[in-house]
Amino acid sequence: MQDDKQGGLEMSPQEMRQLASRATDALIERISGLDGENAWDGEFRQVLEERLGGPPPENGQPAESVLELVLNDVLPNAARLDHPRFFGFVPSSPTWPGILADFLASGFNINSCTWLVSSGTSQLELVVVDWIRDWIGYPETAGGLLTSGGSTGSVEALVAAREASGHPIRPTVYMSDQSHSAMKKAALIAGVRREHIRLVPTDNDFRLDMDLLRAQIAEDRTSGLHPMAICANAGTSSTGSIDPLQELCDFCSSENVWLHVDAAYGGFSLVTEDGKKLLEGIQDADSVGLDAHKWFFQPYEAGALMLKNGQHLENVYAIDHDVLQDTVWGANHPNFADRGQQLSRAARALKIWMSVQTFGMAKFRSAVQNGLDLARRAGQYVRDSSVLELMTPVVLGVLCFRVNPESEECDEASLEKVNREVLVRVFWDELTFFSSTSLKGVFSLRLCILNHTTTWEDVRETLDLVSQLGREALSEA
Ligand X SMILES: Cc1ncc(COP(=O)(O)O)c(C=O)c1O
Contacting residues toward ligand X, per CB under 6 A? 90, 149-151, 180, 182, 236-237, 262, 264-265, 291, 303
Cβ proximity of 52 and 446 under 8 Å: no
Closest to ligand X by CB, 291 or 430? 291
Q: Which has the closest alpha carbon to 182: 32, 295, 320, 305?
A: 305
Closest to ligand X by CB, 183 or 391? 183
Give least dist CB 90 to ligand X, A: 4
Give least dist CB 252 to ligand X, A: 19
Closest to ligand X by CB, 180 or 207? 180
Q: How many residues does the chain have?
A: 477
CA 390, CA 384: separation in Å to the nearest integer?
Answer: 10
CA 229, CA 232: separation in Å to the nearest integer?
Answer: 10
Give least dist CB 234 to ligand X, A: 8
Closest to ligand X by CB, 156 or 416? 156
Give least dist CB 201 to ligand X, A: 18
Cβ proximity of 422 and 62 under 8 Å: no
Closest to ligand X by CB, 182 or 288? 182
Position with the least CB separation from ligand X:
149
DSSP H or E segment with residue 270: none
Cβ proximity of 285 and 192 under 8 Å: no
Which residues are CB-neighbours of 281 under 8 A, at least 6 positions away?
244, 245, 246, 247, 248, 249
CA 285, CA 306: separation in Å to the nearest integer?
Answer: 10
Cβ proximity of 463 and 85 under 8 Å: no
Closest to ligand X by CB, 90 or 415? 90
DSSP H or E segment with residue 22: helix 13-33
Closest to ligand X by CB, 92 or 118? 92
86 residue type, one letter: F
Closest to ligand X by CB, 90 or 350? 90
Closest to ligand X by CB, 298 or 432? 298
Cβ proximity of 120 and 105 under 8 Å: no
Give least dist CB 444 to ligand X, A: 17
Closest to ligand X by CB, 182 or 225? 182
* DSSP helix, strand, coil percent of the chain (3-state; round to 5): 50, 15, 35
CA 354, CA 99: separation in Å to the nearest integer?
Answer: 10
Q: DSSP alpha helices (H): ranges in 305-455?
A: 311-317, 348-359, 361-384, 412-429
CA 296, CA 352: separation in Å to the nearest integer?
Answer: 8
Is the peptide bond between 301 and the residue preceding it cis, with omega within 30 degrees of 0?
A: yes
Give least dist CB 286 to ligand X, A: 17
Closest to ligand X by CB, 150 or 470? 150
Q: Which has the closest alpha carbon to 178: 439, 395, 379, 398?
A: 439
Q: Which has the closest alpha carbon to 419: 473, 476, 477?
A: 473
In DSSP notation, 184-209 reads HHHHHHTT--GGGEEEE-B-TTS-B-
Give least dist CB 122 to ligand X, A: 22
Give least dist CB 341 to ligand X, A: 14
Neighbouring C-beta atoms of residue 330, cutoff 10 Å = 6
Give least dist CB 109 to ligand X, A: 25
Closest to ligand X by CB, 150 or 334? 150
Give least dist CB 400 to ligand X, A: 15
Give least dist CB 146 to ligand X, A: 12
Give least dist CB 189 to ligand X, A: 13
Cα torsion for 443, 186, 210, 198, to the nearest 10°?
80
